[in-house]
């Protein structure tokens, strides 16, 4: 294998790794920002709130609110489609 091919493969592998890290960090940061906005909304509503109400108050899409609530350790289901902060 020629040195040019080896260098090209090393550069390509490096770029794939860098892009993968960037995508992973972007997902984590986006999740944390959305989770923080939802938790702030739920702090104002201690009895819990529906997905659609949270989406309206935070400006986050309903599907994204549902996904973040399901993944978050600090947000718990409160029967049906209602969510509340974990106490």
pLDDT level of residue 86 (50, 70, 90 thresholds): confident
Say if residue 79's pLDDT is above 90: no
Say what the pTM is: 0.82
Say if residue 47's pLDDT is above 90: no
CATH number assigned to the domain comprising residue 37: 1.10.10
In a domain, 64, yes or no: yes
Place of tokens 């020629």: 2
Query: How many domains, in total, are found in the chain?
Result: 1
In a domain, 69, yes or no: yes
Q: Looking at residue 58, what is its pLDDT?
A: 95
In a domain, 65, yes or no: yes
Domain containing 40 equals 24-85
Q: Looking at residue 78, what is its pLDDT?
A: 86
What is the rounded average pLDDT of the residues 54-63?
A: 95
């Amino acid at each position: 294998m020629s040195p040019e091919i080896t260098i090209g493969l090393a550069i390509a592998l490096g770029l794939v790794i860098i892009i993968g890290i960037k995508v992973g960090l972007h997902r984590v940061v986006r999740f944390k920002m959305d989770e923080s906005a939802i938790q702030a909304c739920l702090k104002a509503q201690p009895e819990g709130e529906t997905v659609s109400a949270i989406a309206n108050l935070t400006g986050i899409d309903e599907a994204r609110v549902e996904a973040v609530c399901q993944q978050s350790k600090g947000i718990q289901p409160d029967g049906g489609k209602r969510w509340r902060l974990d106490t």
